[in-house]
Amino acid sequence: MSEFYKCAICGKIVKVIAEGKGQLVCCGQPMDVIANFQSVNEILDFAIEKEEEARQFYLEWAQKLENRALSEQFVLFAGEELKHKEKLQRVKGGSSFKPAAKQVTDLKIVDYLVDIVPTPEMDYQEALIVAMRREKASFKLYSDLAAIAQDEGLRDTFLALAQEEAKHKLRLETVYEKEIYSEN
Ligand SMILES: [Fe+2]
Ligand SMILES: [Fe+2]
């Protein structure tokens, strides 16, 4: 079992390696369970949540960015993340696969989290960096899920999603190079 806790205040993530009865506390308050992957369904839920987070991120930043082209790009990404979410929901609803609990617990959730917390003061460059990290984490999540999926259809779904996130990352990197590097 891999249970992970996160502090809502400082962002620290703790992995439980042996169960006990005590409560985990950080910054003076109980820590939240962020994932406890014991089935494919739970992982799908995690991925669905990540897609929703990504969609919100792009929508929010699309409004804040002054750069028109990037803003439009973010709106497009928001739409694509929504499609990813819906795809995962359909997979979950179908449930034609056999959960592979043993292998699933090998995943390390920290690899899929973005450590920069976006702030309202974040500028154009920082927004791009956060977005690139998000896409990198998404790519890694789906690549790992594809690697552990035992069901062929499920594996294909994850591989396709990994490719789409890789494309998102590449598009952002292209913008970054064009806009940021060429200024200096
Ligand atoms: Fe996505
Ligand atoms: Fe993406």
Domains along the chain?
A: 1-36 (2.20.28.100), 38-100+110-183 (1.20.1260.10)
pLDDT value for 117: 65
pLDDT value for 77: 96
Predicted confidence (pLDDT) at residue 140 exceeds the cutoff of 50? yes
Higher pLDDT, 32 or 167: 167
For the chain, percent of residues with pLDDT exceeding 70: 77
Going from the Cα of 64 to the center of ligand 2, the distance in angstroms, rounded, reads 19
**Best-predicted range by mean pLDDT (5-14, 117-126, 136-145):** 136-145
Going from the Cα of 18 to the center of ligand 1, the distance in angstroms, rounded, reads 33
What average pLDDT does the chain have?
A: 80
Each residue's pLDDT tens digit, 60-86: 989 988 878 888 999 999 999 999 999
**Best-predicted range by mean pLDDT (37-46, 158-167, 171-180):** 158-167
Predicted confidence (pLDDT) at residue 1 exceeds the cutoff of 90? no
Going from the Cα of 90 to the center of ligand 1, the distance in angstroms, rounded, reads 15
Ligand nearest to the CA of 170: 2
Residue with tokens 């792009």: 58
Mean pLDDT of 41-66: 89
Rounded Cα gap, residues 31 and 29, in angstroms: 6
Ligand nearest to the CA of 47: 1
Going from the Cα of 107 to the center of ligand 2, the distance in angstroms, rounded, reads 20
Mean pLDDT of 150-161: 87
Higher pLDDT, 89 or 153: 89
pLDDT value for 36: 56
Higher pLDDT, 183 or 25: 25
pLDDT value for 15: 73
Higher pLDDT, 82 or 23: 82
- Band (161; pLDDT cuts 50, 70, 90): very high
